[in-house]
């Protein structure tokens, strides 16, 4: 069983990672060429106005002091104030974006699993058969397809040609659930198809390995139906390898979302980050990086906990 | 002497591996595809019917009238631009992978060979890099350094350093206790010689696989950055940027973004095919492929 102590210890490990990410991001954006005050006020600002704004931003203090102030703020959940976005607090700008992004992660992954699990099993059960060949081709093609290209192909087909679905945009589910779902379809397919491609390969490999083990032979020998052997016995154990891939893929997924969100004008964290990089609103960029890293680390933590839940032989000390 | 004997065995191995590598038609397809892409983009000045940066005709023409793929939003020949963009994309991809190997390889060698404190410092640093999603790290680096071809190569290279250092470290750990390494040391070879002459050649096979796969990812990442407007800057053409501008006019000229994306797709596909084939040819434990 997963002990509370283990979860607590893993939670503690999250802190240094976030601290490193935060520190790197803080100093990275301090060496950005260009003075933030100058950027905020434009080229024809008076030196007095510049000095005043620098003082307001705390830019006239030593770097270490700035860092200490910033870190203190982060620990209290204060990520500073956006230079644009109506001078709102960074936290207020970013917080509503989190569920929007998480939606894509959750639905995209669900779609990917729904595709990959049956295909992976079928490919492994009849290795080198026709389905296996098909799975290999699908995986190779999917693995090489840029998400932004897939998105454009889907838009051309379903939005411009067939006119079934909107090409991009977002409607909040509170506002209109039906519309919301229509906007959700293409981004989810984009995310899901690409994920499915790499999941299939690993699921097939994991399943093949398990199918060759003695306990499967025993199960068959004692006359269990092939169905029970595959779904009851083999699948459960090959889930371990699936979870591993899920964990490593989440990074690519979260990174890829930056692009997918941009294409579909899906106003999540990635979209906000790119928008803020464009407008040089670095406070928001810093915050967005932190949030995305936090999401990444949390998902990895959940994956590790899943390991222990699935395989009682795995112990963490 | 041990070096020589080992190298001899390795050559025989290489010949067998090469044969296995070329037997797989999928791998050959990848090689042919990549070779064709390399030739076509290298010879862009000869092949391209129009200069990539001059107006050649009316904007957003469909294919025909001398324009193989039509024209872009300001009337430049799309085909010529895709060819020229390929030089940048392949160049950045190769450069970034070279940076990753250049940094990752020595780190992995030191980490695996000397172990102890070196190992823990280097590997914890690599873990830190891996804690970032790759594209996010590249994006942040470019946002900080500013978009230029050199910075993009650096950013994408940096992201891939941990893969190489881990890979090399694992190989070094596997080989450093082996008899032929012991023999080299007994014959008086110093650490540097043992590392570079005795151990390093044995780390190369898995490295070649990773090189092609990382090359593919680097091309994808560059196109992604340029697509977001944070990569290659106009007037230099790049596939990612063409996808982005093409997307805005896709109702009028659907072929525009589709072709730019197809170029990325074919490049990445060919590299993945080669990488896959290499892995199967080099890994004696893997006989799963038919």
pLDDT tens digit sequence for A276-292: 887 777 788 888 888 88
Share of chain A above pLDDT 70, in %: 91
Q: Which residues of B touch A143 (CB under 8 A)?
A: 272
pLDDT of residue A179: 81
Residues in chain A closer than 8 A to B241 (CB atoms): none
Question: Using only C-alpha atoms, what is the Rg of chain A?
Answer: 24
Cβ <8 Å between A259 and B243: no
Instruction: Report the pLDDT value the prediction gives residue B153, as an integer from 0 to 100.
Output: 92
CA distance A70 to A78: 8
Give me the residue from B140, B220, B257 closest to A289, CB to CB: B140
Taking contacts as CB-CB distances below 8 angstroms, the residues of chain B near A296 are: 131-133
d(CA A235, CA A231): 5
Check residues A133 and A85 and name the one with the higher pLDDT: A133
Name the token pair of B43: 């010879």
What is the pLDDT, as a whole number, of residue B283? Answer: 64
The answer to whether the Cβ–Cβ distance between B135 and A255 falls below 8 Å is: yes
CB contact under 8 A, B139 and A274: yes
> Can you give the length of chain B in residues?
290
Q: Please identify which residue in the block is written with the tokens 């956006």.
A: A82
Interchain pair B258, A144: CB under 8 A: no
Instruction: Tell me whether residues B276 and A140 touch, CB distance under 8 A.
Output: yes
The more confidently predicted of residues B90 and B277 is: B90
Q: In chain A, which residues have their Cβ closer than 8 Å to the Cβ of B273? A: 140
Residues of A whose CB is below 8 A from B269 = 140-141, 144
Nearest beta carbon to residue B136 from set A140, A145, A258:
A258
Buried b (16+ CB within 10 A) or exposed e, B46-71: eebebebeeebeeebbeeeeebebbb
Contacts of B133 in chain A (CB under 8 A): 251-252, 254-255, 292, 296
Average pLDDT over chain A reads: 80
Cα A247 to chain centroid distance, Å, stands at 10
Q: SS3 for chain B, per residue?
A: CHHHHHHHHHHHHHHHHHHHHHHCHHHHHHHHHHHHHHHHHHCHHHHCCCCCCCCCCCCCCCCECCECCCECCCCCEHHHHHHHHHHHHHHHHHHHHHHHHHHHHHHHHHHHHHCHHHHHHHHHHHHHHHCCCHHHHHHHHHHHHCCCHHHHHHHHHHHHHHHHHHHHHHHHHHHCCCHHHHHHHHCCCCHHHHHHHHHHHHHHHHHHHHHHHHHHHHHHHHHHHHHCCCCCCCCCCCHHHHHHHHHHCCCCCCHHHHHHHHHHHHHHHHHHHHHHHHHHHHCCCCCCCC
More confident residue, A192 or B76: A192
Q: Give the mutation candidate from B131, B151, B162 for the A interface (greatest A CB count, under 10 A).
A: B131
Q: Do B264 and A146 touch (CB under 8 A)?
A: yes
Task: Identify which has the larger pLDDT, A54 or A156.
Answer: A156
Identify the pLDDT of residue B32.
92
Task: Identify the burial level of A293 via C-beta atoms within 10 angstroms of its C-beta, where 0-12 means exposed, 13-18 middle and 19 or more buried.
Answer: buried
Q: Which residue has the higher pLDDT, A237 or A150?
A: A150
Per-residue model confidence as pLDDT tens digits over A94-143: 888 888 888 888 899 899 999 988 888 888 888 777 888 888 888 888 88
φ, ψ of residue B64 in degrees (nearest 5): 125, 180
pLDDT greater than 50 at residue B198: yes
What does the block give as tokens for B235?
């007037």
- Measured between alpha carbons, how far is A7 from A1 in angstroms, rounded to an integer? 11
Query: Does residue B288 carry a pLDDT above 50?
Result: no
Q: Quick check: A252 and B134 CB within 8 A?
A: yes
Q: What are the C-alpha distances in Å from A161 to residues A156, A166, B8, B63?
A: 6, 11, 61, 19
| Among candidates A31, A32, A262 on the partner chain, residue whose Cβ is nearest the Cβ of B228 | A262
> In angstroms, what CA-CA distances link B43 with A54, A125, B32, B144?
52, 47, 16, 35
Sign of the CA dihedral running A14, A20, A24, A30:
positive
Task: Tell me how far apart the alpha carbons of residues A63 and A29 are, in angstroms, rounded to a whole number.
Answer: 12
- Which residue in B170, B94, B172 sits closest to B126, CA to CA? B170
Dihedral (Cα; B265, B271, B274, B276), 10-degree rounding = -80
Tokens encoding A210: 């398990």
Q: Which tokens is B275 given?
A: 């990488």
Residue A229 confidence (pLDDT): 84
Q: What is the pLDDT of residues A238-268, one digit of tens each?
A: 777 777 777 777 767 777 788 889 888 888 8
Contact criterion met (CB < 8 Å) for B288 and A208: yes
Confidence at residue B290, expressed as pLDDT on a 0 to 100 scale: 30
Name every chain B residue with its beta carbon within 8 A of the beta carbon of A141. 269
Q: Do B131 and A297 touch (CB under 8 A)?
A: yes
Kindly state the percentage of chain A with pLDDT values over 90. Answer: 3
Q: How is residue A40 written in tokens?
A: 């905020």
Interface of A with B (CB under 8 A): 17, 20-21, 25, 28-29, 31-33, 127-128, 140-141, 143-146, 148-149, 152-153, 155-156, 160, 205, 208, 251-252, 254-256, 258-259, 262-263, 273-274, 277-278, 285, 289, 292-293, 296-297
Quote the CA–CA distance of B263 and B257 in Å, as a whole number: 10
User: What is the structure's pLDDT at B33?
Assistant: 92
CB pairs under 8 A between A and B: 115
Closest CA to A120 of A209, A220, A38, A232: A209
* B66 backbone dihedrals φ, ψ, rounded to 5°: 90, -15
Residue A91 in this model has a pLDDT that exceeds 60: yes
Residue for token pair 């992954």? A109
Q: Is A251 within 8 Å of B134 when comparing Cβ atoms?
A: yes
Distance from C-alpha of A193 to C-alpha of A150, rounded to nearest angstrom: 9
pLDDT tens digits, one per residue of A160-184:
878 888 877 787 777 778 888 888 8
> Residue B96: how many CB atoms within 10 A of its CB?
27
Q: What is the mean pLDDT of chain B?
A: 82
Q: What is the pLDDT of residues B76-91, one digit of tens each?
A: 888 888 888 899 999 9
Whether B274 has a pLDDT exceeding 80, the answer reads yes
Task: Find where tokens 């392949």 sit.
Answer: B90
Query: What percent of chain B clears pLDDT 90, i.e. is strictly above it?
Result: 20
For residue A83, pLDDT beyond 90: no
Facing residue for B132 by CB, picked from A31, A258, A293: A293
Q: According to the model, what pLDDT value does residue B266 have?
A: 94
pLDDT digits (tens, 9 = 90+) for B153-194: 998 998 889 889 988 998 888 888 888 888 888 888 888 888
Which residue of chain B has the CA closest to A280?
B143
pTM greater than the 0.80 cutoff: yes
The beta-carbon neighbor of B268 closest among A127, A144, A148 is: A144
């Amino acid at each position: 069983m997963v002990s509370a102590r283990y979860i607590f210890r893993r939670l503690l490990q999250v802190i240094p990672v976030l601290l490193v990410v935060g520190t790197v991001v803080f100093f990275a954006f301090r060496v950005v060429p260009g003075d933030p005050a100058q950027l905020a006020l434009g080229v024809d600002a008076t030196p007095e106005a510049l000095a005043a704004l620098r003082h307001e931003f705390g830019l006239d203090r030593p770097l270490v002091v700035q860092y200490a102030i910033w870190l203190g703020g982060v620990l209290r959940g204060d990520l500073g104030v956006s230079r644009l976005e109506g001078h709102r607090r960074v936290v207020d700008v970013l917080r509503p974006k989190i569920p929007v992004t998480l939606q894509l992660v959750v639905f995209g992954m669900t779609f990917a699993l729904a595709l990959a699990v049956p295909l992976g099993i079928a490919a492994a059960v009849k290795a080198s058969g026709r389905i296996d060949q098909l799975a290999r081709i699908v995986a190779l093609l999917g693995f090489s397809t840029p998400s932004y290209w897939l998105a454009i192909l889907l838009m051309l087909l379903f939005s411009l040609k067939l006119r079934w679905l909107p090409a991009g945009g977002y409607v909040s589910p509170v506002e209109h659930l039906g519309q919301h779902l229509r906007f959700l379809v293409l981004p989810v397919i984009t995310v899901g198809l690409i994920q499915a491609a790499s999941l299939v390969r690993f699921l097939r490999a994991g399943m093949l390995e398990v199918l060759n083990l003695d306990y499967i032979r025993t199960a068959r020998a004692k006359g269990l139906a092939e169905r029970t052997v595959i779904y009851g016995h083999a699948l459960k154990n090959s889930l371990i390898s699936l979870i591993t891939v899920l964990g490593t893929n989440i990074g690519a997924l979260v990174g890829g979302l930056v692009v997918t969100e941009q294409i579909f004008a899906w106003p999540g964290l990635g979209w906000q980050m790119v928008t803020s990089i464009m407008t040089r609103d670095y406070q928001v960029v810093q915050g967005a990086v932190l949030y995305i890293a936090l999401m990444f680390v949390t998902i990895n933590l959940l994956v590790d906990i899943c390991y222990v839940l699935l395989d009682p032989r795995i112990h963490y000390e | 002497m041990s070096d020589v004997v080992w190298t001899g065995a390795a050559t025989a191995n290489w010949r067998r591996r090469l044969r296995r590598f070329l037997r797989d038609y999928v791998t050959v397809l990848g090689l042919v595809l990549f070779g064709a892409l390399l030739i076509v983009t290298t010879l862009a000045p000869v092949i391209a019917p129009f200069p990539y940066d001059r107006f050649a005709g009316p904007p957003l023409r469909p294919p025909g009238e001398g324009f193989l793929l039509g024209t872009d939003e300001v009337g430049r020949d799309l085909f010529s631009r895709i060819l020229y963009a390929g030089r940048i994309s392949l160049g950045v991809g190769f450069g970034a992978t070279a940076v990753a190997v250049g940094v990752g390889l020595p780190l992995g060698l030191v980490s695996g060979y000397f172990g102890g404190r070196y190992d823990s410092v280097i590997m914890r640093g690599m873990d830190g890099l891996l804690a970032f999603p790759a594209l996010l790290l590249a994006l942040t680096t470019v946002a900080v350094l500013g978009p230029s071809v050199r910075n993009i190569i650096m950013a994408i290279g940096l992201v891939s350093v941990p893969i190489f250092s881990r890979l090399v470290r694992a190989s070094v750990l596997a080989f450093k206790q082996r008899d032929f390494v012991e023999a080299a040391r007994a014959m008086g070879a110093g650490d540097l010689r043992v590392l570079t002459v005795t151990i390093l050649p044995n780390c190369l096979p898995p490295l070649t696989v990773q090189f092609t796969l990382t090359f593919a990812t680097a091309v994808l990442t560059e196109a992604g950055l340029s697509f977001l407007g944070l990569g290659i800057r106009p007037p230099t053409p790049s596939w990612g940027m063409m996808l982005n501008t093409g997307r805005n006019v896709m109702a009028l000229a659907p072929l525009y973004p589709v072709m730019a994306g197809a170029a990325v797709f074919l490049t990445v596909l060919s590299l993945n095919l080669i990488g896959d084939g290499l892995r199967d040819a080099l890994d004696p434990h893997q006989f799963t492929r038919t």
